[in-house]
Amino acid sequence: MSVTIVFKREQLLYDVAHPSWVEGDVLQTDNVHAVHQIQDVIQDQNVDRVTRMLDLAFAECTEMLYPYSKKELLDGTVENDELTETTEYVLQLSVPESFSKTTYDLLKLYVHNYMVAYALEDWMSITNPDKNSKANWYSKIADIRGKIESSINARTGRVRRTLSPF
Protein backbone atom coordinates (compact mmCIF):
# COMPACT_ATOMS: atom_id res chain seq x y z
CA MET A 1 0.00 0.00 0.00
CA SER A 2 1.32 3.44 -0.91
CA VAL A 3 0.63 6.56 1.17
CA THR A 4 1.83 10.13 0.80
CA ILE A 5 2.37 12.97 3.24
CA VAL A 6 2.74 16.47 1.82
CA PHE A 7 4.43 19.19 3.86
CA LYS A 8 3.72 22.70 2.59
CA ARG A 9 6.76 24.98 2.61
CA GLU A 10 4.56 27.96 3.47
CA GLN A 11 3.32 26.20 6.63
CA LEU A 12 6.81 25.13 7.64
CA LEU A 13 8.15 28.67 7.24
CA TYR A 14 5.24 30.05 9.27
CA ASP A 15 6.02 27.58 12.06
CA VAL A 16 9.72 28.54 11.96
CA ALA A 17 8.97 32.28 12.02
CA HIS A 18 6.61 32.31 14.99
CA PRO A 19 8.95 30.87 17.67
CA SER A 20 11.79 32.99 16.27
CA TRP A 21 9.71 36.11 16.75
CA VAL A 22 8.83 35.07 20.30
CA GLU A 23 12.47 34.27 21.16
CA GLY A 24 13.53 37.69 19.93
CA ASP A 25 10.70 39.35 21.82
CA VAL A 26 11.60 37.76 25.16
CA LEU A 27 15.34 38.23 24.69
CA GLN A 28 16.57 40.30 27.60
CA THR A 29 18.74 42.81 25.81
CA ASP A 30 18.75 46.39 24.68
CA ASN A 31 20.49 45.33 21.48
CA VAL A 32 17.78 45.91 18.87
CA HIS A 33 20.01 44.48 16.14
CA ALA A 34 20.32 41.15 17.99
CA VAL A 35 16.55 40.97 18.40
CA HIS A 36 15.81 41.62 14.75
CA GLN A 37 18.43 39.07 13.65
CA ILE A 38 16.59 36.38 15.59
CA GLN A 39 13.16 37.51 14.41
CA ASP A 40 14.01 37.95 10.73
CA VAL A 41 14.57 34.24 10.15
CA ILE A 42 12.50 34.04 6.96
CA GLN A 43 13.24 37.52 5.61
CA ASP A 44 15.33 38.31 2.52
CA GLN A 45 18.28 35.94 2.07
CA ASN A 46 17.87 34.47 5.57
CA VAL A 47 15.17 32.23 4.13
CA ASP A 48 17.80 30.62 1.89
CA ARG A 49 19.57 29.21 4.95
CA VAL A 50 16.25 28.01 6.36
CA THR A 51 15.42 26.38 3.04
CA ARG A 52 18.70 24.43 3.08
CA MET A 53 17.98 23.28 6.63
CA LEU A 54 14.41 22.24 5.78
CA ASP A 55 15.78 20.27 2.82
CA LEU A 56 18.34 18.57 5.06
CA ALA A 57 15.80 17.82 7.78
CA PHE A 58 13.41 16.33 5.23
CA ALA A 59 16.20 14.14 3.83
CA GLU A 60 17.04 12.96 7.36
CA CYS A 61 13.40 12.10 8.06
CA THR A 62 13.13 10.24 4.77
CA GLU A 63 16.22 8.24 5.74
CA MET A 64 14.84 7.57 9.25
CA LEU A 65 11.75 6.13 7.57
CA TYR A 66 13.91 4.00 5.26
CA PRO A 67 11.96 0.76 5.71
CA TYR A 68 8.99 2.53 4.12
CA SER A 69 10.58 5.29 2.04
CA LYS A 70 13.39 3.54 0.16
CA LYS A 71 13.61 4.17 -3.56
CA GLU A 72 15.79 2.60 -6.19
CA LEU A 73 18.76 4.70 -7.29
CA LEU A 74 18.86 4.76 -11.06
CA ASP A 75 22.11 4.19 -12.93
CA GLY A 76 23.54 7.44 -14.26
CA THR A 77 21.72 9.68 -11.77
CA VAL A 78 23.20 13.19 -11.73
CA GLU A 79 22.04 16.01 -9.49
CA ASN A 80 23.43 19.38 -8.41
CA ASP A 81 23.20 21.37 -5.20
CA GLU A 82 21.47 24.41 -6.65
CA LEU A 83 19.13 26.03 -4.16
CA THR A 84 15.51 25.49 -5.11
CA GLU A 85 12.53 26.63 -3.14
CA THR A 86 10.22 23.69 -3.36
CA THR A 87 6.60 24.49 -2.55
CA GLU A 88 5.97 21.03 -1.11
CA TYR A 89 8.00 18.29 0.52
CA VAL A 90 6.45 15.00 -0.56
CA LEU A 91 7.06 11.91 1.53
CA GLN A 92 5.96 8.73 -0.23
CA LEU A 93 5.80 5.62 1.90
CA SER A 94 5.19 2.00 0.99
CA VAL A 95 3.55 0.53 4.04
CA PRO A 96 1.95 -2.84 4.78
CA GLU A 97 -1.84 -3.17 4.71
CA SER A 98 -1.80 -3.41 8.51
CA PHE A 99 -0.17 0.03 8.89
CA SER A 100 -2.24 2.09 11.28
CA LYS A 101 -3.80 5.43 10.38
CA THR A 102 -2.88 6.64 13.86
CA THR A 103 0.79 5.86 13.21
CA TYR A 104 0.53 7.66 9.86
CA ASP A 105 -0.99 10.72 11.56
CA LEU A 106 1.68 10.67 14.26
CA LEU A 107 4.50 10.44 11.72
CA LYS A 108 3.03 13.39 9.82
CA LEU A 109 3.17 15.53 12.97
CA TYR A 110 6.61 14.27 14.01
CA VAL A 111 8.20 14.97 10.63
CA HIS A 112 6.68 18.45 10.47
CA ASN A 113 7.92 19.31 13.96
CA TYR A 114 11.33 17.77 13.27
CA MET A 115 11.80 19.97 10.21
CA VAL A 116 10.76 23.12 12.09
CA ALA A 117 12.98 22.36 15.10
CA TYR A 118 15.90 21.54 12.81
CA ALA A 119 15.66 24.90 11.06
CA LEU A 120 15.28 26.75 14.37
CA GLU A 121 18.23 24.96 15.99
CA ASP A 122 20.44 26.01 13.11
CA TRP A 123 19.15 29.60 13.07
CA MET A 124 19.56 30.02 16.83
CA SER A 125 23.12 28.66 16.64
CA ILE A 126 23.88 31.59 14.32
CA THR A 127 21.85 34.42 15.83
CA ASN A 128 21.61 33.54 19.53
CA PRO A 129 24.65 31.36 20.28
CA ASP A 130 25.26 32.53 23.86
CA LYS A 131 21.84 31.56 25.11
CA ASN A 132 20.30 28.14 25.76
CA SER A 133 18.10 28.45 22.70
CA LYS A 134 20.27 26.28 20.44
CA ALA A 135 20.46 23.56 23.10
CA ASN A 136 16.70 23.75 23.62
CA TRP A 137 15.98 23.21 19.92
CA TYR A 138 18.63 20.50 19.66
CA SER A 139 16.93 18.69 22.54
CA LYS A 140 13.60 18.90 20.71
CA ILE A 141 15.21 17.44 17.57
CA ALA A 142 16.67 14.52 19.53
CA ASP A 143 13.34 13.91 21.26
CA ILE A 144 11.37 13.88 18.00
CA ARG A 145 14.00 11.69 16.30
CA GLY A 146 13.60 9.18 19.10
CA LYS A 147 9.83 9.23 18.72
CA ILE A 148 10.03 8.72 14.95
CA GLU A 149 12.45 5.82 15.36
CA SER A 150 10.35 4.35 18.15
CA SER A 151 7.17 4.41 16.10
CA ILE A 152 8.97 2.78 13.18
CA ASN A 153 10.59 0.15 15.41
CA ALA A 154 7.21 -0.62 16.93
CA ARG A 155 5.89 -1.29 13.42
CA THR A 156 8.82 -3.22 11.96
CA GLY A 157 10.28 -4.70 15.11
CA ARG A 158 13.94 -4.64 15.95
CA VAL A 159 16.15 -7.23 14.44
CA ARG A 160 17.67 -9.31 17.20
CA ARG A 161 20.26 -11.96 16.77
CA THR A 162 20.10 -14.83 19.16
CA LEU A 163 23.31 -15.69 20.85
CA SER A 164 24.80 -18.99 19.95
CA PRO A 165 26.86 -21.02 22.43
CA PHE A 166 29.07 -22.17 19.53
**To the nearest whole percent, how much of the chain has pLDDT over 90?**
80
**pTM given for the model:** 0.89
Task: Tell me whether residue 77 is in a domain.
Answer: no
Residue 157 has pLDDT above 60, yes or no: no
Structural domain tally of the chain? 1
Confidence at residue 159, expressed as pLDDT on a 0 to 100 scale = 46
- Return the half-sphere exposure (C-beta side, CA atoms, 13 A cut-off) of residue 105: 3
Provide the domain limits for residue 114. 2-71+83-156
State the angle between helix axes of 9-26 and 101-127 in degrees (0 to 180), rounded to the nearest 10: 50
pLDDT (tens digit, 9 = 90+) per residue, 44-85? Answer: 999 999 999 999 999 999 999 999 999 899 999 999 999 999
Q: What is the mean pLDDT of residues 95-113?
A: 95
User: Dihedral of the CA atoms 124, 126, 129, 134 (nearest 10)?
Assistant: 30
- Look at 14-23, 47-56, 77-86, 127-136 and tell me which has the smallest mean pLDDT: 127-136
Confidence at residue 162, expressed as pLDDT on a 0 to 100 scale = 64
- At 74 the three-state DSSP class reads coil
Task: Tell me whether residue 60 is in a domain.
Answer: yes
Confidence at residue 164, expressed as pLDDT on a 0 to 100 scale = 65
Task: Tell me whether residue 76 is in a domain.
Answer: no
